[in-house]
């Protein structure tokens, strides 16, 4: 059985990659954001996951408008990072585990999720930045990833309810894996933000708090919202909280909050770093 040790929610903003490349972690603008990661590292040292299931949204790198699955799971032994146009350095390759990926794919399809399986998959900043911040340096070599991408680019997007159910199905898939592993779920993106249109720069701290409170104690509560509700409350790109919802749904009902860091703005985004331990 693959044991789910917990989840981490982590904002992804391309400018983080620029800040790392320029060594700006102690800069007053960036310090409150980077200050969170030692807390996550300390928990990861205790929780000792050997695999990470990364629930994230591709931003037009591996998938584009001509070919856009609602849900896609990587099934490769490694994943190349590339920059979809922000001018940030690429971070090399990330280790996968095709065996665990195929188990997840088999289980999800049997569970009525018609996902795309990707034996080759480029991963964008939404994958590379959170993974490299959480497992810096040679830590990246010790963690093997299964990327799970969901569509936030072209409507219709999956609903919050569908993302919740996907997370539950991922939880069942991991529980039925025949090998013993320790797995952490990593949801990237969010929290509230809008990059385009007349509301560019929009954030909603009250809604971010509502999301975190719900995810902690009653995650299904967020499934009452439609995608359009989420856009109205969290901004066009704030729909990325659906990844957090999916990851939380993979955990059991009882969780312990280990760490919470909320800070804005990082670029246009209300940033969050959240560590939740799964209680048996
Ligand atoms: C920003 C946020 C995102 O989630 C993203 O994918 C790209 C940019 C931003 O705030 O700049
Ligand atoms: Fe994003």
Q: Looking at ligand 1, which residue's alpha carbon is closest to its atom 8? A: 13
Residue having the nearest C-alpha atom to atom 3 of ligand 1: 13
- Tell me the pLDDT of the chain averaged across its residues: 97
Give yes or no for residue 83 CB within 6 A of ligand 1: no
164 CB-near residues (< 8 Å, 6+ apart): 219, 220, 222, 223, 245, 246, 249
Distance separating alpha carbons of residues 232 and 243, to the nearest angstrom:
17
Measured from the CB, is residue 171 less than 6 Å from ligand 1?
A: no
Domain total in the chain: 1
User: What's the pLDDT band for 183 if we cut at 50, 70, 90?
Assistant: very high
Query: Using a 6 Å cutoff on CB, does residue 194 contact ligand 1?
Result: no
Nearest CA to ligand 1 atom 6: 13
At 249, the pLDDT band (50, 70, 90 cuts) reads: very high
Q: How high is the pLDDT of residue 71?
A: 98
Closest-CA residue, ligand 1 atom 7, reads 13
Residue that wins the pLDDT comparison between 19 and 142: 19
CA–centroid distance, 111 to ligand 1, in Å, is 32
The pLDDT of residue 37 is 98
User: Can you read off the two tokens belonging to residue 44?
Assistant: 């990861």
45-61 residue pLDDT tens:
999 999 999 999 999 99
pLDDT at 92: 87
If you take atom 5 of ligand 1, which residue's CA is the nearest one? 13
Nearest atom of ligand 1 to the alpha carbon of 266: 10
Whole domain around residue 44: which residue ranges?
2-278
Q: Band of the pLDDT at 193, cuts 50, 70, 90?
A: very high
Give which of 75, 234, 238, 224 is closest to 159, Cα–Cα: 224
Q: How far apart are CA 52 and CA 167, in angstroms?
A: 14
Q: How far is the CA of 172 from the centre of ligand 1 (A)?
A: 31
pLDDT of residue 129: 98
Widest pairwise Cα distance in the chain: 51
By annotation, the residues acting in catalysis are 125, 193
Q: Is the CB of 192 under 6 A from ligand 1?
A: no
18 band by pLDDT with thresholds 50, 70 and 90: very high
pLDDT in tens, 114-144: 999 999 999 999 999 999 999 998 877 789 9
Which atom belonging to ligand 1 lies closest to the Cα atom of 193?
10
pLDDT tier, 277 (very low <50, low <70, confident <90, very high otherwise)? very high
Between the CA of 231 and the centroid of ligand 2 the distance, in Å, is 13
- Does 254 score more than 90 pLDDT? yes
Q: Is the CB of 190 under 6 A from ligand 1?
A: no
Residue 69 has pLDDT above 80, yes or no: yes
* pLDDT value at residue 142: 83
Q: Give the closest residue (by CA) to ligand 1 atom 1.
A: 13
pLDDT at 141: 76
Q: Which ligand is nearest to the CA of 266?
A: 1
Six token digits for residue 156: 């219709």
Q: According to the model, what pLDDT value does residue 207 have?
A: 98
Determine what percent of the chain is predicted with pLDDT higher than 70: 100
CATH of the domain at 241: 3.40.830.10
pLDDT at site 139: 79
Q: State what percent of residues in the chain have pLDDT above 90.
A: 97
Ligand 1 within 6 A of CB of 188: no
Q: Which pLDDT score, from 0 to 100, does residue 181 have?
A: 97
Residue 15 Cα: closest atom of ligand 1? 11
Q: In angstroms, what CA-CA distances link 163 with 46, 149, 222? A: 29, 11, 11
271 lines ligand 1 (CB under 6 A): no
Structure tokens at 63: 């998938």
12 in contact with ligand 1, CB cutoff 6 A: yes
């Amino acid at each position: 059985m693959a044991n789910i040790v917990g989840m981490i929610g982590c904002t992804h903003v391309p400018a983080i990659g620029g800040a790392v490349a320029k060594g700006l972690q102690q800069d007053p603008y960036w310090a409150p954001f980077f200050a969170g990661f030692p807390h996550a590292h300390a928990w990861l040292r205790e929780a000792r996951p050997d695999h990470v299931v990364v629930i994230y949204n591709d931003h037009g790198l591996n998938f584009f408008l001509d070919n856009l699955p609602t849900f896609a799971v990587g099934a490769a032994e490694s994943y190349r990072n590339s920059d979809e146009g922000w001018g940030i350095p690429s971070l090399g390759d990330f280790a996968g585990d095709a065996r665990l990926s195929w188990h997840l794919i088999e289980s999800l399809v049997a569970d009525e999720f018609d996902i795309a399986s990707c034996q080759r998959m480029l991963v964008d900043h939404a994958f590379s930045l959170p993974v490299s911040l959480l497992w810096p340096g040679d830590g990246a070599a010790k963690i093997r990833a299964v990327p799970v991408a969901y569509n936030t680019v072209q409507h219709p997007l999956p609903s919050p309810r569908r993302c919740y159910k996907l997370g539950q199905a991922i939880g069942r898939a991991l529980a039925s894996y025949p090998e013993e592993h320790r797995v952490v779920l990593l949801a990237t993106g969010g929290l509230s933000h809008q990059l385009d249109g007349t509301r560019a720069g929009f954030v909603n701290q009250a809604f971010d708090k509502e999301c975190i409170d719900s995810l902690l104690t009653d995650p299904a509560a967020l499934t009452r919202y439609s995608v359009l509700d989420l856009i109205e409350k969290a901004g066009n790109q704030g729909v990325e909280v659906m990844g957090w919802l999916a990851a939380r749904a993979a955990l059991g009902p009882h969780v312990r909050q280990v760490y919470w860091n909320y800070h804005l703005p990082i670029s246009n985004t209300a940033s969050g770093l959240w560590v939740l331990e799964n209680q048996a």
